[in-house]
Structure 1
Amino acid sequence: MELSKKTTILLSPQTHQYLTELAARKGKSLGELVREACVAQYGLADTNTRVAAVAALSALSLPVASPREMKQESVPSPRDLMPPSRSRAKR
């Protein structure tokens, strides 16, 4: 990746110290650590990376029901949310 743009950011002394120490523990520069965080947070991935991620997700064998079944399992019916009325309670 070509690095050709420069941005200056201001950090609190505590944040700067923490990130500098974290970068050192990971064997990276502070700039590399911040660039990686931007990619992770804001999804700055190219098309090939996104296509590969979709392919990896679709290759997983997960127990997933149909959308209708999932909705029935996760969304209670209005009757389930209402307190029993006197007429319903006597039935």
Structure 2
Amino acid sequence: MTTLTKRVQVLFPEELWLRLVRKADAQQRSVGSLIREAVEQVYFATPDEQRADRRRMVAELISMDLPVADWQQMESESTARGCWDE
């Protein structure tokens, strides 16, 4: 385990802080470990690691087996609700 020797103070809006706390609790981790991981992923991940992360996220989305209609129906519903700037 790496010894943590540097401290930083970051101020968050209340809602973002609460979201971080909930996510940390759900993963049984500290908020600090979530933030350290995010810094590693955003600022120091190699292009290969970034591609692997994107592939993993796409695979997770595909595996959700969400109910969807055919493209024409989905497009019609989206434009009817004003979801697109046309």
Give the TM-score, by structure 2 length: 0.50
Report the CA distance between 1:6 and its aligned residue.
0.3
Q: Tell me which residue corresponds to 1:27.
A: 28
Q: Tell me which residue corresponds to 2:6.
A: 5
Q: Tell me which residue corresponds to 1:18.
A: 19
Runs of 4+ aligned residues of structure 1 deviating over 2 Å after TM superposition are none
Structure 1 gaps of 5+ residues are 45-49, 58-91
Structure 2 gaps of 5+ residues are 53-86
Q: How many residues align?
A: 48
- RMSD of the TM alignment (CA)? 2.1
Partner Cα separation in structure 2 for residue 26 and residue 42 of structure 1: 22
Secondary structure class of the residue paired with 1:35 = helix
Give the greater-gyration-radius structure (CA).
1
Query: How is 1:30-45 mapped onto 2 (pairs within 5 angstroms)?
Result: 30-43=31-44
